[in-house]
Amino acid sequence: MSVGNSAGFDRHITIFSPEGRLYQVEYAFNACKQAGLTSVAVRGKDSAVVVIQKKVPDKLLDPSTVTNLFYITANIGCVMTGMSADSRYQVKRARSEAAFWKYRYGHEIPVDVLCRRIADISQVYTQSAGMRPLGCIMTLIGYDDKMGPMVFKTDPAGYFCGFRAVACGAKHLEGGNFLEKCFKKKKDYTFNETIELAIHCLSCILSADLRANELEVGIVTQENPKFRTLTEAEIDNHLASLAERD
């Protein structure tokens, strides 16, 4: 591999290094892991679920203001993994894009179209010198009346893809392996099985028994396609049935 000549800026702004890498984009991926949180999203037969840890680091914090789950429209929700402020910015942009689509075309934006739009915006940041990529990963879930439940993820590089299941954040590799093993054995999950798989995955890769107040769960289902977050009591029920299964 020849060592090309670079002016030394390839690590500082989003230009190519001699080996053809974008260092700033790679560093942005590291930023997504900085917060130390991991999220898991699973698509079942007729439902889609996102789960993320809830860490309230300061006793004086008001826990009701700490969240990583956001709704984009009534029917589309997302989990944001990575830098807090960048996440809120991207959520705001997504809400704005979804609202504009509704205004322009008269119907709700589909999940994959929204994801593509956010990914295209993220790509612009990887090609501008004056801006940095956002240090956050957005995993969108929604229930489409033609396509069924959908899970889409977009990252700082501007890449996006639909998934059957995906893990993002600090422990995404372990999460990915775990989910691959589960999906090899079984491909169709009912609503309860989907939630339990997501929670089980998270507790295994974190090697910890998670409690209801350390988790946030967001769901969309065929019966109720509106994005909603589960209450602590509902999460407790799922944890209980998970414990019984084991």
Residues that bind another protein (CB under 8 A): 11-13, 23-24, 27-34, 58-62, 64-66, 83-86, 88-89, 92, 129-135
Shortest distance, CB of residue 197 to another protein, whole angstroms?
A: 29
Residues ≥6 apart with Cβ < 8 Å to 133: 14, 24, 25, 28, 122, 125, 126, 156, 157
Shortest distance, CB of residue 59 to another protein, whole angstroms?
A: 6
Exposed, middle or buried by CB within 10 Å (0-12, 13-18, 19+), for 155?
A: buried
22 or 197: CB nearest another protein: 22
Shortest distance, CB of residue 80 to another protein, whole angstroms?
A: 12
Residues ≥6 apart with Cβ < 8 Å to 95: 72, 73
Shortest distance, CB of residue 63 to another protein, whole angstroms?
A: 9
170 or 220: CB nearest another protein: 170
C-alpha 245/C-alpha 105 separation (Å) is 47
86 or 108: CB nearest another protein: 86
What angle, rounded to 10 degrees, do the helices at 84-105 and 111-125 form? 130
